[in-house]
């Protein structure tokens, strides 16, 4: 896991912002005959970043420009990727149309904000690019009916390190961003992906979903219940964000799987399970399972070696109880699977 650097963090720009800047650069070549050295765009919250063009090309009736994505100090897998926009004059009356080029995915499942069959370019980036087309068309006296193809060389390989395959986005990356800004080490993007996973599962008619704290517990839960990939939510440490969304968008059943340490923290009331934001209370555990030796434990692995099965059973029960409390009145059946680091099931509730 990438550690958060010390000191002030440098923010970056989303793929949607980079694509919008590339569209402006390409349109100026198509309509005005020359590429600018750099372009500035207005983001949804009024910020006006400047982008250098790293790629320029043009031919008969088309032009394309590219911007290298700078994610700032965020460990974003798309940092350094080249986001290229090709623009061509579209059919009269067609408006702005979007297409997926190399390395940009296509939506194949319902439940996402873009319909199946469309390029995986999210609504806010589409609106930003359309606004650039409209503004430049008015400025230069051109027809605002433009076809935009976004491509990301190497994007298909990068996408394998994202949640896109599980969400039914095939062939590459999504062009994302609601503000245009990447805020370093923000939880927002991860929690948004959990929400999209729930949306996709519900739209596909799934009645049982599972969230896990890591890869080993996820594999154990998926094997235990025979769940399809798109039933597996990328919960990680964000159990609170997952449950909050499920309360408003329920399914019949939720399984939460995780390591004994993470689920011990959940059972003690933590809703963000990251080690920097919550810790196991060993005194509380020692009292709950009537094992005073746990007060001197340094890790849950050591605690399990001291106490064994009664501790694992207690963690499963308390985690289940806390999840039910968090769900309030949502009609969702809940169960918990506690695993060790190798994915072996220690307890269930």
Q: How far apart are alpha carbons 258 and 283 in whole angstroms? A: 22
Q: Note the pLDDT of residue 162.
A: 87
Same domain, 178 and 38: yes
Q: Note the pLDDT of residue 1.
A: 44
Residue 85 bridge partners (DSSP): 65, 150
Same domain, 174 and 205: no
Read off the CATH number of the domain in which 154 is found: 3.30.2110.10
Same domain, 83 and 133: yes
Low-confidence ranges of the chain (pLDDT < 70): 1-9, 75, 184-186
Look at the chain and report how many structural domains it folds into.
2
Same domain, 221 and 156: no
Segments forming the whole domain that contains residue 212:
187-348
Q: Note the pLDDT of residue 299.
A: 87
Give CA torsion, residues 252, 234, 104, 77, to 10 deg.
Answer: 170
In this structure, are residues 285 and 311 in contact, taking their beta carbons and an 8 Å threshold? yes
Q: How far apart are alpha carbons 165 and 188 in whole angstroms? A: 20
Name which of 333, 109, 318 is nearest 225 in CA terms: 333
Q: Note the pLDDT of residue 274.
A: 83
Q: Note the pLDDT of residue 298.
A: 84
Q: How far apart are alpha carbons 346 and 58 in whole angstroms? A: 61
Q: Can you tell me whether residue 56 is helix, strand or coil? A: strand
Q: How far apart are alpha carbons 176 and 198 in whole angstroms? A: 18
Domain finish residue from 159, 182, 205: 182
- Which residues, 6 or more positions from 38, have their beta carbon under 8 angstroms from its beta carbon? 50, 51, 52, 53
Same domain, 305 and 280: yes
pTM: 0.76
Domain finish residue from 114, 147, 182: 182
Q: Note the pLDDT of residue 45.
A: 87
Q: Can you tell me whether residue 312 is helix, strand or coil? A: helix
DSSP one-letter code for 153: T
Same domain, 320 and 266: yes
DSSP one-letter code for 290: T
């Amino acid at each position: 896991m990438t550690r958060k650097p010390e000191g002030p963090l440098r923010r970056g720009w989303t793929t949607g912002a980079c694509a919008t800047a590339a569209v402006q650069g390409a349109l100026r070549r198509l309509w005005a005959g020359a590429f600018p050295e750099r372009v500035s765009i207005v983001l949804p919250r009024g910020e006006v970043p400047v982008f250098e063009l790293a790629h320029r090309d043009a031919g008969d009736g088309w032009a394309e420009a590219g911007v290298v994505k700078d994610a700032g100090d965020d460990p974003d897998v798309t940092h350094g990727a080249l986001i290229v926009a090709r623009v061509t004059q579209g059919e009269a009356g067609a408006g702005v149309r979007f297409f997926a080029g190399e390395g940009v995915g296509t939506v194949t499942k319902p439940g996402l904000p873009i319909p199946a069959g469309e390029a995986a370019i999210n609504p806010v980036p589409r609106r930003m690019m359309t606004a650039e087309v409209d503004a430049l068309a008015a400025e230069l006296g051109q027809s605002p009916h433009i076809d935009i193809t976004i491509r990301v060389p190497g994007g298909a390989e990068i996408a394998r390190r994202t949640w896109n395959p599980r969400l039914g986005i095939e062939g590459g990356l999504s062009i994302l961003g609601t503000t245009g800004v990447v805020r370093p080490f923000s939880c927002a993007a991860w929690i948004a992906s959990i929400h999209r996973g729930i949306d996709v599962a519900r739209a596909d008619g799934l009645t049982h979903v599972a969230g896990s704290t890591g890869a080993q517990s996820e594999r154990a839960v998926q094997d235990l219940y025979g769940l399809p990939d798109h039933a597996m939510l990328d919960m990680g440490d964000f159990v609170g964000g997952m449950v909050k969304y499920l309360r408003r968008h329920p399914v019949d059943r939720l399984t939460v799987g995780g390591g004994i340490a993470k689920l011990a923290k959940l059972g003690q009331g933590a809703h963000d399970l990251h080690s920097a934001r919550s810790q196991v209370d060993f005194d509380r555990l020692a009292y709950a399972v009537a094992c005073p030796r746990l007060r001197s434990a340094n890790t849950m692995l050591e605690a399990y070696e001291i106490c064994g099965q009664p501790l694992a059973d207690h963690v499963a029960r308390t985690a289940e109880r806390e999840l039910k409390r968090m769900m309030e009145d949502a009609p969702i059946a809940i169960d918990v699977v506690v695993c060790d680091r190798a994915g072996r099931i220690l307890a269930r509730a």
